[in-house]
Amino acid sequence: MPYRSITNEKVLFRGQNKNQYEGGTYIRSLSGIGDAVFMIRYALPAIHHLPFITLNLGVKFANASIDGKDVHGKRISDNLQLGSGSVDPIFGVNLLQQSGSLLFSGNAYARITSRENIFGYKYGNELHVLSGIDYSGEKLFYGGLQLYYLKTTRDYYQYGKVTRERGGKWVYLVPKLGVNIWDNLQIELSLMRTIYQFVNESQLTSKNLIRINTIYSFSL
C-alpha cells in the first residue's frame, strides 16, 4: 500500500498559461495513497542441490485517485497522478539458493496493463529483473545488495495514440537492511540508486528511491 508524494516544477513563458499570464515557475503537486498491490507466492517442492523456486501471482488495484487537480482546478497530466485507473495482473518467479549465511536470489516479474483508464490513458507494461546476495548470519538483522533492472514500454493516450515521451530502461544498485520482527514477519528498507538509465525524451523519473517492504510468511 504505497504512499506517494509527487511534485513537478515547470517554467512557463509569458502568456503560456492564462492563470499565470506573466509566466514564471508553475508547481503541480499531489500526495496520498497510490495503487495497492497484492501478491501471492507459491513455493514448489524443494529438490536437493537445486535452487528453491517460488511462483508469484498478483494484482495491482485501481484504488488511487486519477483525477487530481492543480491549484487552478485543472486536472494534472496522467503521468503525475497518484494512480493508473487500471486493474493489472502481475506474474513472476523467484529463485533462491542458500550457502551458509549467504542467500543468492534471482527474481523476475511483469505487470501487464489491462486497459485504459476512464480518461483514455493506458500505461505501458513493466518488466522487473533482480539478482542479489543477502547475509543472514544475525538473528535480528540481515542485509544485502541487489542489481535491479527495470524496463517500461510506452504509454498510450486518447485510446491508442502512442505517447513518445514515455518508456525506458533503468538499472539500480540497491543496498538493503532487514529486521526480523518475528519468525514470520520482516521489515526491509532499501535505497535504490540509479547507475544507468535510457529514458525516451522527457519521462518523469527519480534518480533515487527509498522503499520499505513488510513481508509476512504463512503456510497453507
The CATH fold of domain 35-216: Lipocalin (2.40.128)
Q: What is the mean pLDDT of residues 119-124?
A: 91
Instruction: Give the list of residues 6+ apart from residue 110 with CB closer than 8 angstroms, or none.
Output: 90, 91, 92, 125, 126, 127, 128
Beta strands in the chain (DSSP E): 3-12, 24-33, 37-43, 52-60, 88-99, 102-111, 126-135, 141-152, 156-157, 161-162, 168-182, 185-199, 208-216
Give 137's Cβ-side CA count (13 Å radius).
6
User: Helix or strand or coil: residue 20?
Assistant: helix
- What global pTM score does this model have? 0.78
Neighbouring-strand partners of residue 96: 52, 105
| Pick from 100-104, 169-173, 202-206: least confident | 202-206
pLDDT at 30 over 80: yes
Q: What percent of the chain has pLDDT over 90?
A: 43
Residue 58 has a pLDDT of: 96
110 versus 41: the higher-pLDDT residue is 110
Of 150, 123, 140, the residue nearest 187 (C-alpha) = 140
Residue 209 has a pLDDT of: 82
